[in-house]
Amino acid sequence: MRDGFIKVAAGSVNITVADTAANAEEIKNRILEADSAGVNLLVLPELCITGYTCGDLFYSDVLLSSALEALKDISRFTADKYPVVVASLPVKYNYKLFNCAAVIHRGVILALIPKTHLPSYSEFYEKRQFSSGVELGGEKASVRIDGRDVPLGNRVIFRHSRLESYRFGVEVCEDLWAQSPPSEALCKAGCTIIANPSASDEVIGKEAYRRLLTASTSARLICGYIYCNAGPYESTQDMVFSQHHLICENGSMLAENRPFCEVNLLSAEIDIERIASERHKMTSYQSVKDNSFTEIEFDQEVRDTKLTIKISRNPFVPSDASLLNERAETILQIQSNGLRKRLGHTGAKTAVIGVSGGLDSCLALLVAVRAMDMLGRSRRDVLAVSMPCFGTTARTRANAGKLCACLGVSFREIDITEAVSRHFDDIGQDPGVRDVTYENCQARERTQVLMDLSNKEGGIVIGTGDLSELALGWATYNGDHMSMYGVNSSVPKTLVRYIIRYVAEKSGGELAAVLRDILDTPVSPELLPADDSGNISQKTEDIVGPYELHDFFLYYTLRFGFAPSKIFRLAKHAYAGAYDDETILRWLRVFIKRFFSQQFKRSCMPDGPKVGSATLSPRGDWRMPSDASCELWLKDLENIR
């Protein structure tokens, strides 16, 4: 539960139809397993105490009274168990029968939640035996069980005594399919998790629809959703049940038990802090205090939750290969269409780009070529400029020329060594001192060349810096930091690689060969001389750290505002076996310091197309004071476990 991770589970029950004692024993087994696994919230199938398919046996007092006795037995069994349990049964109240989910914790039945929407179509005929929870109206109903009045109603929120964001509500099976499901009002009133005990039979096409419905509901309501379905032992007469369980979080499928797969517990960790962050950020999300809801508090010990969910090492990059190609193509379309508009609006005759033979300028050049193709203009209207100096290697110099030749753009090489040396003389810089002045003079000279060429050729300068570099401030102020339009400004470094690889696979031939060699070249600004073998000596990731780690830190900082201690925990889980704790912590500290100290560069960054949900544009997604202190964030790392 620490850091907002709530371990939830959908439990399977091998139902014996109408045998409540046997079902109670099965339910106890699931509770025992959930207790051992440290589950916070265990959801069991609809009417699991009796079986869903009892039909007119629900009229029998024998079945109803035995179900109530089984509930009492299950409740007592939970007295020393950790999970909150959602188990379901038929409950009589005022001469009516309700299909209820009983919420139980530590030997206490907290409340009974009646089903709201009763299906009476096709193979379903629930209205024959049951009444809807809406028939209770605003009545504060209760059922006396074991000497205690247990609240009965469908406007109930269960609230953890210490974790403000841990609030859950219950809707039952068909409620999810309705036009206005109870979950809408529950989430609006503050619930971050919805539990759904269900008995949905399996027919062709229903699996996909069920998956779509639960995932989209969790996305629309920005919540966690646990859907626990009845299994094959419930099957009787014309209906077969498949045990299709689903656990979703804000549109993402955390865990799924496919139909007819045998599983006792399907579990996952729902991150309620992430849900709260999304709701906080989305100002159109309606969250109101609704006094018509009864809030029932439960006190569950706050424990460390062992993470079992998969956390991607590259959160900006889709894990599915087909989706990755689709994403790469979409990003290229966004970038090139944005540039097409800027070129057309300004009437620019050329798009001027500094090419280094590295990743970022390669992507920017690919985008510029697409934009010219869209405009129906010659690719020769792209002017690519290579500006070798002290640190340029033969490999990158050659790749810059080959790339431009393959793409058919105008290419010019301007050696800036003499100009930079003259500038050293002007400012009294010793060329033997390889300091930041030595490096930045080269970067600013390159920018001056590009800017002046754009004036001369009637064009605009296309920026090449990416999102990761902006986050770290890895750019020379008023050097490569500046352009007229930065096409890569919201593309992180880890994603740049995949986009170029996508173009290489799609292109083939000589272009693919040069793109692959660019991909294999170490990331470097090449501002320091090559080593004795003529290879790159200045490797960016040796200086600022691995970009995959920094992109991971950046994603959870921008998207969810997580504390560094939580980001560290997520990184430990994601990069287990790749980086040790000390390495992750070291680079996380570097990220925090650079992210804060380099904001002044982002405050005046050029326009650039937004391609993802996390960007740093001061005009759009990220408004941060340039002089903010990072001490609170660094101090938070002292709390790591």
Q: How many residues does the chain have?
A: 641
Place 238 in a pLDDT band, splitting at 50, 70 and 90: confident
Region 410-435: what's the mean pLDDT? 96
Strand bridging mode 84-93 / 252-257: unpaired
173 part of the active site: yes
576's torsion region: left (phi>0), alpha (psi -120 to 50) or beta? beta
In angstroms, the first-to-last Cα distance of the chain is: 14
Residue 318, judged by CB atoms within 10 A of its CB (0-12, 13-18, 19+), counts as: middle
Catalytic residue among 7, 81, 115, 572: 115
Phi/psi-derived region of residue 456, left when phi > 0, alpha when psi is between -120 and 50, beta in every other case = alpha
Our answer to whether residue 228 is catalytic in this structure is: no
Give Cα 40 to chain centroid, integer Å.
Answer: 22
pLDDT at 613: 84
Where b means 16+ CB within 10 Å and e means fewer, 223-255 reads bbbbbbbbbbbbbeeebbbbbbbbbbbbeeebb
Mean pLDDT over 242-265 rounds to 96
pLDDT of 544-565, one tens digit each? Answer: 999 999 999 999 999 999 999 9
Which CATH code, of 3.50.50.60, 2.30.30.240, 3.40.50.1860, 3.40.50.620, is assigned to 321-639? 3.40.50.620
Q: Which of 619, 556, 61 is nearest to 314 (CA)?
A: 556
Range scoring the smallest mean pLDDT among 60-64, 260-264, 286-290, 474-478: 286-290
Chain mean pLDDT for the chain:
95
- The structure tokens listed for 84 are 């909150």
pLDDT (0 to 100) of residue 641: 66
User: Is 46 a known active-site residue?
Assistant: yes
Rounded (5°) CA angle 439-443-447 = 165
pLDDT at residue 235, rounded to an integer: 86
Q: Which two tokens stand for residue 250?
A: 């804000």
pLDDT confidence of 383, banded at 50, 70, 90? very high
In this model, does residue 488 exceed pLDDT 90? Answer: yes
pLDDT, one tens digit per residue, over 574-584 is 999 999 999 99
The pLDDT of residue 474: 93
Neighbour-count burial of 418, counting CB atoms closer than 10 A to its CB (0-12 exposed, 13-18 middle, 19+ buried): exposed
CATH code matching the domain that covers 2-298, chosen among 3.20.20.80, 3.60.110.10, 1.10.10.10, 3.30.565.10: 3.60.110.10
Neighbouring residues of 21: CB distance < 8 A, sequence distance ≥ 6: 66, 70
3-state secondary structure of 406: helix
The pLDDT value given to residue 532: 76
Gyration radius of the chain's alpha carbons: 31
Task: Tell me which of 278-292, 425-439, 450-464 is least confident.
Answer: 278-292
Report the percentage of the chain scoring pLDDT > 90. Answer: 89
For the beta sheet containing 167-170, the strands, ordered from the edge strand earlier in sequence to the opposite edge, are 252-257, 245-249, 224-229, 193-198, 167-170, 156-160, 294-298
Q: Which two tokens stand for residue 441?
A: 């003079």
What are the sequence ranges of the domains in the chain?
2-298, 321-639
Instruction: Check residue 528 and give its pLDDT.
Output: 82
Contact 478, 465 (CB under 8 A): no
Mean pLDDT of 84-97: 97
Tokens of 109: 């039945």
Active-site entry in 26, 46, 174, 269? 46
User: Stretch 339-355: mean pLDDT, rounded?
Assistant: 97
Cα–Cα distance for residue pair 314/549, rounded to 1 Å: 8
Q: Which of 6-20, 124-138, 149-163, 474-488 has the lowest mean pLDDT?
A: 124-138
- Rounded to whole angstroms, what are the CA distances from 156 to 46, 144, 146, 293, 639? 18, 17, 21, 5, 35
Contact status, residue 20 vs residue 66, Cβ threshold 8 Å: yes
> Does the pLDDT value for residue 594 go beyond 80?
yes
- 281-331 confidence digits (pLDDT tens): 888 888 888 888 999 999 999 998 999 999 999 999 988 878 899 999 999
Q: What is the pTM of this model?
A: 0.91
pLDDT tens-digit readout, 17-30: 999 999 999 999 99
Tell me the per-residue pLDDT of 460-477, one tens digit each, with 9 for 90 and over.
Answer: 999 999 999 999 999 999
Of the candidates 173, 223, 362, 389, the residue annotated as catalytic is 173
